[in-house]
Amino acid sequence: MAKIQRIGIMTAGGDCPGLNAVIRAVAKAAMGKHHLDVMGIEDGFLGLIQNRMRLLNNEAVSNILTLGGTILGTNNRTSPRQYPVKVDGAVEIRDVTDRCLEHIAHNQIDALVVIGGDGSMACAADFVRLGVNCIGVPKTIDNDLYGTDVTFGFATAAAIATEALDRVHTTAASHHRAMVVEVMGRNAGWIALHAGIASGSDVILLPEIPVDLDVVCEYVANRSRHGKRFSIICVSEGARLKDGKQVVNRVDPTSPDPVRLGGIGQFIAGEIESRTGIETRDIKLGHVQRGGTPVAADRVLATEFGYKALELLTAGERSRLVVMKGRTVTHIPLEEADGKQRLVPVEHPLIMAARNIGTSFGD
């Protein structure tokens, strides 16, 4: 294999705390230890499509460890295989992968470091099959990327959700209300599970466990009958009712991931109030979970992941995904994560522990 001289790095998909820590780790080690050029690709795969890249230097990647977001920008609505193009006033979906390959060759990029979630890894896997060496770094607050025990960004999101639930406790107790807090997570309930347990939520509703509204309402009503004058319900945005349906906020046909979940919290709050007569309010945390300064655990994990990605490249490895297994940072074939999600097992020890201390999961 020819010696790598220039790498490209991108942050793709939704933003999350810790992205800049990965960029910093990859770029500083690449430039300092291995004397490589580092091209920053702007706005994820959109920058690859539009040939928007810039050469990074030490100044560009200094003092960014604690910053939220990403200095390169990102985009979660763009896939090279499904790129919307306006033609005669109408939008057509086209495969522009060849355009990306031309830009990679033009900029003399020997390999890509792709920081992203499951959708981004699916895009990276396409490039691998076309001969482009890609090393993936798992990023998502949802913690749902297959093959790794944890993704960076999750710890910060769970901490933000926990703090919000803690604050809701005081107002719920003061007004004797039921409070429903909707958190992110898409089809995986990791944020709801961890934040719900950490905050002592009375009810935790996950996508993996179908929700019986009769059970939820009776649980809240029973608490009220026994002198518990408020209840806290933590619900994942992807929670499903018994019929398997999710609450969809909107559908974006131009996006490779068109379904936007949201609104289950408001729906459940309305059902609780109408069925029990207990005053109920709903709070949707939304994007606040993805913003701000990463907690220490995410800064450390992101740095470990970034350094490992570069070491894999310089060791001649191809098409690998950096992962955490137990307490060890290792790697698996990138293609293994293509099209898969890591969901919460219904017999997870945290679920069993919560059930045994009286928490309801709506089933």
pLDDT, one tens digit per residue, over 83-122 is 888 888 888 889 999 999 999 999 999 999 999 988 899 8
The last residue of a domain, from among 290, 317, 346: 290
Estimate to the nearest angstrom the gap between the alpha carbon of 32 and the chain centroid: 30
Q: Which of 43, 142, 202, 282 is catalytic?
A: 142
**Rg of the chain (C-alpha set):** 22
Residue type, 247: V
The answer to the question of residue 359 being in a domain is: no
The answer to the question of residue 363 being in a domain is: no
The answer to the question of residue 220 being in a domain is: yes
| Mean pLDDT, range 5-33, rounded to an integer | 95
Residues 21 and 137 in one domain: yes
Specify the CATH number for the domain of residue 138: 3.40.50.450
CA distance 83 to 95: 6
Structure tokens at 122: 């699916």
- DSSP letter at 344 equals P
- pLDDT attached to residue 2: 61
CA distance 103 to 52: 9
The answer to the question of residue 204 being in a domain is: yes
Question: Does 142 qualify as catalytic in the annotation?
Answer: yes
- pLDDT attached to residue 91: 83
Give the chain's end-to-end CA distance (angstroms, integer): 55
Residues 20 and 85 in one domain: yes
Residue type, 219: Y
The answer to the question of residue 55 being in a domain is: yes
The answer to the question of residue 358 being in a domain is: no
CA distance 281 to 62: 44
> Which residues are registered as beta bridge partners of 261?
248
Residues 87 and 209 in one domain: no
Domain tally for the chain? 2
Please count the CA atoms within 13 angstroms of the CA of 157 that sit on its side-chain side.
32
Residues 141 and 171 in one domain: no
Mean pLDDT score of the chain, rounded to an integer? Answer: 92
> Which residues are registered as beta bridge partners of 114?
10, 136
Residues 113 and 52 in one domain: yes
| Mean pLDDT, range 306-332, rounded to an integer | 94
Q: Which domain holds residue 91?
A: 6-152+294-337
